Structure 1
């Protein structure tokens, strides 16, 4: 298993991230591709986890919200690779990188169906649920040490 990162949209990491996101969010969850494939800046870091066979199986991205906060988005694992802890590994790596960047916290908008997963990683719900791309989400925050 290996996690690779890139902030370049012409990189293989970004291409693999988009492939996973299309499979999970567009094909599986029926989210409009125009909503899913959005514009990013070089401040956005894409993470892709490759399994032991070198296949891209999970992805996430993080963008600084401000000098102390990273905003995690687009956490996805291919259906055939779920249940193996890949998303957990990605989020742990993002948290470790956030500490190195001097961030105090990470935030994300969790699909309500995945809220328990994020709670197990230490994220806490904030505010009321909201709708995004036709799905209920919950803002969640993880304090970094």
Structure 2
């Protein structure tokens, strides 16, 4: 572990947790074995920060990661109920190996460091393979402060393959919505948006229907289940709202699942009318004005 890992300012990514009773020993400090669990949990969130759903991404890249070495550097102890921030960064990438450094901080105080060496390998034989260029670019790009996803718009012929696969996974397989209810004639004529990660996987999607009396409608909003709360849905919403505003619409509406109501409220949407059920799922219509504040 390098001395750089002892400085909070050298990390772009942090995972936060509070020490639980079950994680402390008789001295009321964190039992040493739990620190590896902490860093492993942080690594999982690091992949989410890269906009990579781990299992699917590794399959697309033709390999998987295996821990070759893990070392812990104890400097000070974490205690029961401490709020901790775990910094993770990719420090080096070799031919087939990657070195991740972790720093555990209580506010600005460095407590524990970790170095994890992973090898990219063939899952069938567990023999090492070169780190794919696409993965190398994702890791170096993230550490350089670059964005990990982009949003594009287009028609169903252009974007339907990726958008449809994600909608199937979210609505039909995860939420058990009947397939006959998911697909309709609107797909062929409306504007679609998809968010892609740096290796080209579709991680969020939505569509913008034609406006009626100045009110446009956003629908079929879906985000990969492993990447929710990462800002990808909000990015798709922003692009669709911009498209509605550009064509002169004054209000945008959507039928929000009640479980997602707070997400849309944070984006400025307010309930409109009474709740209802669709496909057995509680919904509420929500609306947001697209006019400048001075025009409302």
TM range (shorter): over 0.9
Mark the runs of 5 or more structure 1 residues left unpaired by the alignment: none
Q: CA deviation at 1:41?
A: 5.7
Out of 154, 157, 180, the position equivalent to 1:10 is 157
Q: CA deviation at 1:67?
A: 5.0
Normalised by the length of structure 1, the TM-score is 0.93
Q: CA deviation at 1:52?
A: 2.1
Aligned length: 143
What per-residue deviation string (whole Å, max 9, x for no partner) do you get for residues 7-37 of structure 1? Answer: 2x322x1111110100000000010011011
Out of 190, 201, 226, the position equivalent to 1:44 is 190
1:116 and 2:273 matched: no
1:144 and 2:290 matched: yes
Q: Distance in 1 between matches of 2:187 and 2:224?
A: 25
Tell which deviates more after alignment, 60-69 or 36-45. 36-45
- After TM superposition, the structure 1 = structure 2 runs for residues 1-145 of structure 1, keeping only pairs within 5 Å, are 1-7=149-155, 9-11=156-158, 13-40=159-186, 43-66=189-212, 68-145=214-291
Normalised by the length of structure 2, the TM-score is 0.47
Q: Distance in 2 between matches of 1:142 and 1:4?
A: 22
RMSD of aligned Cα (Å): 1.3
Q: Distance in 1 between matches of 2:227 and 2:259?
A: 18
Structure 1's consecutive aligned runs of 4 or more residues displaced over 4 angstroms after TM superposition are none
| Greater RCO, CA 8 A, separation 6+ | 1
Q: CA deviation at 1:63?
A: 0.4
